[in-house]
């Protein structure tokens, strides 16, 4: 009898011990973070809740296809190519977004993965010609099946990009090449997408060539703004007709 009671007591002690150790481990996991955001509001440094595990696709304009616009000096020497500017900005924007917790893929201009692409957002990165004009511009699909979401993405670019770069909006040169951009027609119709012209390689060369990190911050901030607005709005309610 006495032996049974002892057994019972040690069993209870064991359970209490396991629960205590388990709680301490859980508490430590939350405090240290273990890289996982949780409901308590603790996030690893730099991580943005709305961006956590967000699927972000960036097109490095002209990559894998051609050099895009080419600026030459009077003697015909190549000063800079659009593709090199796009690649530098895409790479640095991807770095910023990854530090914010997003899952970023950089795609070529005509990447096979664009076909039916499902992502939280796609932004194609281009730069405009070598003329001596200043300003950026962005466009979404003229026939987007998610017009409200597309408008929100455009609004975020028009807010965050000029804030990061100081560039004015240059809307007069938005072309059909932008609003009917080939990638818009290839991706899944529910994937929010935009194309941005970072600036003119002529008038904005100081920014694009010497300070690509500012353009990259503008692109990354635009995307974070959009992901935050989407997570605040809750699940998408728009349905394709």
Q: Which is nearer to Zn ion, 48 or 208 (CB)?
A: 208
Q: Which is nearer to Zn ion, 82 or 120 (CB)?
A: 82
Q: In the range 23-62, which residues lie near Zn ion by CB under 5 A? A: 61
- Smallest gap from Cβ 62 to Zn ion, in A, equals 6
Site string for Zn ion, 113-132 (x = CB under 5 A): -------------x------
Residue 112: how many other CB atoms lie within 10 Å: 9
Q: Which is nearer to Zn ion, 54 or 68 (CB)?
A: 68
* Cβ–Cβ under 8 Å, residues 166 and 236: no
Q: Which is nearer to Zn ion, 126 or 141 (CB)?
A: 126
- Smallest gap from Cβ 175 to Zn ion, in A, equals 11
Q: Which is nearer to Zn ion, 80 or 102 (CB)?
A: 80
Longest dimension (CA), the chain: 104
- Smallest gap from Cβ 182 to Zn ion, in A, equals 12
Q: Which of 57, 59, 68, 218 binds Zn ion (CB under 5 A)?
A: 68
Compute the C-alpha angle 60/66/68, nearest 5°.
70
- Residue nearest Zn ion (C-beta atom): 126
Quick check: 192 binds Zn ion (CB under 5 A)? no
Whole-angstrom Cα distance, residue 172 to residue 169? 9
Quick check: 199 binds Zn ion (CB under 5 A)? no
Quick check: 170 binds Zn ion (CB under 5 A)? no
Cβ-based neighbours of 39, under 8 Å, separated by 6 or more: none
- Smallest gap from Cβ 39 to Zn ion, in A, equals 43
Residue that is written with structure tokens 């001596």 in the block = 132
Q: Which is nearer to Zn ion, 68 or 192 (CB)?
A: 68
Q: If you count them, how many residues does the chain have? A: 241
Counting other chains too, the contacts that 62-67 makes at CB distance below 8 Å and 24 or more residues apart are 62/86, 62/109, 62/126, 63/87, 63/90, 63/106, 63/107, 63/108, 63/109, 64/108, 64/109, 64/110, 64/111, 65/108, 65/109, 65/110, 66/109
Sign of the dihedral through C-alpha 226, 229, 232, 233: negative
Residue that is written with structure tokens 């996982």 in the block = 36
Size of the site for Zn ion (CB under 5 A): 3
Stretches 48-56, 65-73, 99-107, 229-237: which one binds Zn ion (CB under 5 A)?
Answer: 65-73
Residues of the shown chain interacting with Zn ion in the complex, contacts defined by CB under 5 A: 61, 68, 126
């Amino acid at each position: 009898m006495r032996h049974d009671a002892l057994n019972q007591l040690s069993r209870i002690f064991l359970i209490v011990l396991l629960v205590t150790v388990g709680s301490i481990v859980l508490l430590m996991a939350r405090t240290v973070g273990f890289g996982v955001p949780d409901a308590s509001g603790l996030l690893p440094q730099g991580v943005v809740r709305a961006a956590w595990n967000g699927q972000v696709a960036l097109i490095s304009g002209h990559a894998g296809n051609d050099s895009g616009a080419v600026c030459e000096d009077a003697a015909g020497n190549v000063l800079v190519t659009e593709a090199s500017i796009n690649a530098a900005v895409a790479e640095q924007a991807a770095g910023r977004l990854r530090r914010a917790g997003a899952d970023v893929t950089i795609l070529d201009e005509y990447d096979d993965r664009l076909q039916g692409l499902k992502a939280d957002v796609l932004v194609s990165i281009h730069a405009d010609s070598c003329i001596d004009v200043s300003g950026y511009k962005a466009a979404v699909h003229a026939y987007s099946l998610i017009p409200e979401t597309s408008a929100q993405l455009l609004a975020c670019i028009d807010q965050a990009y000029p804030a990061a770069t100081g560039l004015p909006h240059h809307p007069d040169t938005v072309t059909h090449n932008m609003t009917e951009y080939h990638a818009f027609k290839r991706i899944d119709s529910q994937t929010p997408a935009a194309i941005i012209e970072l600036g003119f390689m002529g008038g904005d060369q100081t920014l694009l060539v010497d300070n690509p990190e500012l353009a990259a911050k503008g692109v990354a901030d635009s995307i974070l703004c959009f992901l935050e607005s989407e997570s605040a709005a809750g699940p998408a309610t728009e349905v394709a007709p």
